[in-house]
Amino acid sequence: MADEPRAQVRERFRARCAYCGVHEDAVGATLTVDHHRPRAHGGTDDLENLVYCCARCNEHKGAYWHELDPPHVRLLHPGRDELAQHLRESDDGRFVGLTSEGDFFAQRLRLNRPQIVAYRRARRVEAKLTAELAASRRRVEELERAVVDLRAALESTADEIERRSKGRP
C-alpha cells in the first residue's frame, strides 16, 4: 500500500488498533492496514474500507466476509459502527458483547486474549491514578488558597491587637 493512504488510516484511528485498542507505542511498531471487506471479496483501497489494526487482529479477522462465510454475522466496522453500542469494557479489562454483532466481533477477533486484557487493565489503572493525581493537585491548590486566607486573617487580627494595645492609656 502507498504511504499516503496508510498515513491517513493511521491518523483516522489515532495510531491504535481499531479492533482491540492496542496503541502502536505498546506494540513497538507501526500496525497493519486491514481491508474491512477483503480484496478477494470485492473490497477496495478506498479509505472507508481501510482499518488500522495490529497484526494479531488482522490475522484473526482473516478474509472473513459475512456474505460468504458462516456464521454470516456482519463484522462491525470501527470507523462506521458505534462500537460502544455493541461492546463494553468491564472493570477487569474484558470486552463484553451487548449485541450479537458485538459478541461475534469479540469472538472472531479474540479481543479477550490474555495479553490485551492485561494491557487494557493496566490502562484503566493508569487512568485511575492519573485522575487521583489530578484530584490531589486540586486539593493542594485549595489548601494553599486556604493558607493564604488564614495568614491574611491572622495578620489582620495581629494588627487589631496592636491598635487596641496602643489605644490603651
C-alpha cell at 27: 506494540
Question: Minimum CB separation from Zn ion for residue 70, in Å?
Answer: 23
Closer residue to Zn ion (CB): 8 or 32: 32
Give the position of cell 489515532: 14
Question: Minimum CB separation from Zn ion for residue 131, in Å?
Answer: 26
Report the 10 Å Cβ neighbour count for 69: 15
Closer residue to Zn ion (CB): 17 or 76: 17
Q: Residue from 9, 50, 51, 57 that binds Zn ion (CB under 5 A)? A: 57
Binding mask 96-135 for Zn ion (x = CB under 5 A): ----------------------------------------
What sign for the dihedral angle of Cα 78, 84, 88, 93? Answer: positive
Closer residue to Zn ion (CB): 54 or 117: 54
Rama region for 62: left / alpha / beta (φ>0; ψ in -120 to 50; rest): left
Residues 12-31 touching Zn ion, rule: CB under 5 A, are: 17, 19-20
C-alpha cell at 123: 490502562
CA atoms of 54 and 78, how far apart (whole Å): 14
- Look at residue 86 and give its three-state secondary structure: coil
Report the 10 Å Cβ neighbour count for 151: 10
Question: Minimum CB separation from Zn ion for residue 100, in Å?
Answer: 21
Question: Minimum CB separation from Zn ion for residue 51, in Å?
Answer: 10
- Decide: is 54 part of the binding site for Zn ion (CB under 5 A): yes
* Residue 51 parent element (H or E): strand 50-53
Closer residue to Zn ion (CB): 72 or 80: 80
Per CB under 5 A, residues contacting Zn ion are 17, 19-20, 54, 57
